[in-house]
Amino acid sequence: MAGSDFLQLRAETAPAGGLTAWLADGLREAVATGRLVPGDRLPATRLLAAELGVSRGVVVQAYQRLADEGLTAARTRSGTVIAGGGAAAAGSGAGDRRRALAELRLPLSTPDGIDIDLSPGVPDLSAFPRAAWLRAERAVLHRVTGNDLGYADPGGVPRLRAELVGWLARTRGLRADADDVIVTAGMAQGLALLAQVLCRDGTDAVAVEDPGSRGVADQLAYWGLRPVGVPVDGAGMHVGELIRTGLRAAVLTPAHQFPTGVVLSPERRRALLEWPGLIIEDDYDAEHRYDRAPVAAMQGSAPDRVAYLGSVSKSLAPGMRLGWLVAPRRMRARLLAAKHAGDLGNPVLPQLVLAELIATGDHERHLRAVRARQRRRRDALLGALRAHIPGVRVEGVAAGLHLLITFDGYGRTPDTLLADRVAAGGVLVHPLSWHRQRPGPPGLVLGYAAHPPDRLAEAAARIGRALTAERLSGREQ
């Protein structure tokens, strides 16, 4: 591509103090509208800077922001090119995504025009360690035999199970042997396997956190288990309320509760471990912590009573569909039978590649790099929220990939309406009520992993404008 005509930008319209964001926005729009398609080469930084009348540093920084978002890639002898699966692909699939979510009964009401999606649970997909994965895949293919590619143990290949046991023992305090691990297609399949076994045992209801993951509650209901909400406060799930339900199983996120971000207190951990039911521990984003020491998994304290679920969905990518289930040994045979009946086992090669990443330390190095990047993004969103929304309360700051904001001054305005007001400004957020089973104070859940700091600051500014307008409108009525 020879010059800057594709951008349709005029230097005289550029803001004096935001040239990098101005140029990055123009590049994103060119991708979203199809003026740039995968494989197109961007102009050299010196050429584009000269044509736009800006410094070369502005262009370099804008290109870097798009690279961080996965929209561009550096190619030898080709310079910077538009990568596949970027904003254009995301935009073209947005309607399909909304329709799919509607079919899952999620109350999504998203107008056209969303350009910053802060849905929680979406990791930084541009950070996927492509080079490390390729190295590991080459090493695996160099060693793999024909026998390795046949029908394997439905519980997972032995090498991955062995690597996972060592890694989880070091990082999460698990107590297990390789034979205790069942490799799954993500955390969702592990929960599905547990639900099937519980139903066959005669269980018809399971306790869940309230507020808690709507996806977990919906999945339990799909498999025939009624989700019963147990209140969550600043110390986590209220174990006394759990005991009063008389239920025999409960799903929790004790290390970093979704969506409040609280950690299950030591007193409630002890009380929960004395409870005689099955604890299903969802350790969904324990790798992402910033301002506090890691909290050990509960499984290490009671391996005969805790079923532990984890995955690479937040550390690598959800599309990998790789996770693990470590359940009490009395359940293992039935869980393996359900896994075998469902899919005969996960694909072998990705399991071996993940094992190689863990064994070489590349997985741990990747996690450290992602943790540093996500800390910067969290800081950007947190600072901008406090600047643009006076009186906002922000929870879940110390760890994870999302924040929860609550606020005063909105009377009885439903948070679904507040989320719609924010969506009208182009930002998608989750109202806290989506994740509640009983009424409670309003709030908004904001995921920050998928966007660079400048986009998060812009999102916070738009949220602030929308909430301020809603508050003023409420006062006038």
The pLDDT of residue 303 is: 96
**Residue 105 — pLDDT band, cuts 50, 70, 90?**
very low
261 neighbors 400 (Cβ within 8 angstroms): yes
**Residue 71 — pLDDT band, cuts 50, 70, 90?**
confident
Q: What CA–CA distance (Å, rounded) separates 23 from 7?
A: 9
pLDDT per residue as tens digits for the range 420-470: 999 999 999 999 999 998 888 889 999 999 999 999 999 999 999 998 887
Task: For tokens 């005289």, name the residue.
Answer: 12
Q: What is the mean pLDDT of residues 401-411?
A: 80
Closest alpha carbon to 310 in 288, 291, 325: 325
The pLDDT of residue 84 is: 63
Q: Which tokens sit at 415?
A: 């948070």
- DSSP-based three-state secondary structure for 402: strand
Residue 38, number of CB atoms within 10 A of its CB: 15
121 neighbors 402 (Cβ within 8 angstroms): yes
Question: Lowest mean pLDDT: which of 75-89, 100-114, 178-192, 322-336?
Answer: 100-114
The pLDDT of residue 138 is: 96
Q: What is the mean pLDDT of residues 51-61?
A: 84
Q: Which tokens sit at 460?
A: 């916070």
202 neighbors 344 (Cβ within 8 angstroms): no
The pLDDT of residue 112 is: 56
Q: What CA–CA distance (Å, rounded) separates 318 from 68?
A: 18
With 0-12 / 13-18 / 19 or more C-beta atoms within 10 angstroms meaning exposed / middle / buried, residue 395 is middle
Q: What CA–CA distance (Å, rounded) separates 346 from 280?
A: 22
**Residue 109 — pLDDT band, cuts 50, 70, 90?**
very low
Cross-sheet strand order for the sheet of 430-431: 393-395, 402-406, 444-447, 430-431
What does DSSP say about strands 323-326 and 278-282: parallel, antiparallel, or unpaired?
unpaired
The proportion of the chain whose per-residue pLDDT surpasses 70, expressed as a percent, equals 88
**Residue 392 — pLDDT band, cuts 50, 70, 90?**
confident
- DSSP-based three-state secondary structure for 12: helix
Q: What CA–CA distance (Å, rounded) separates 298 from 306?
A: 7
Q: What CA–CA distance (Å, rounded) separates 266 from 272?
A: 10
HSE of 386, CA atoms in CB hemisphere, 13 A: 10
DSSP 293: P
**Residue 103 — pLDDT band, cuts 50, 70, 90?**
very low
DSSP 194: H
Q: What is the mean pLDDT of the chain?
A: 86
Query: Domains along the chain?
Result: 5-88 (1.10.10.10), 93-122+365-476 (3.90.1150.10), 130-360 (3.40.640.10)
**Residue 476 — pLDDT band, cuts 50, 70, 90?**
very low
Amino acid at 10: R
Q: Which tokens sit at 26?
A: 């123009």
441 neighbors 58 (Cβ within 8 angstroms): no
The proportion of the chain whose per-residue pLDDT surpasses 90, expressed as a percent, equals 60
Q: What is the mean pLDDT of residues 59-68?
A: 82
Please enumerate in sequence order all residues whose Cβ is within 8 A of that of 257, keeping only pairs 6 or more positions apart, or say none: 209, 212, 232, 236, 237, 263, 264
Amino acid at 132: A
Question: Lowest mean pLDDT: which of 53-67, 268-282, 361-375?
Answer: 53-67
Is residue 50 left, alpha or beta, with left meaning phi > 0 and alpha meaning psi from -120 to 50?
alpha
Amino acid at 187: M
Q: What is the mean pLDDT of residues 296-304?
A: 94
**Residue 411 — pLDDT band, cuts 50, 70, 90?**
low
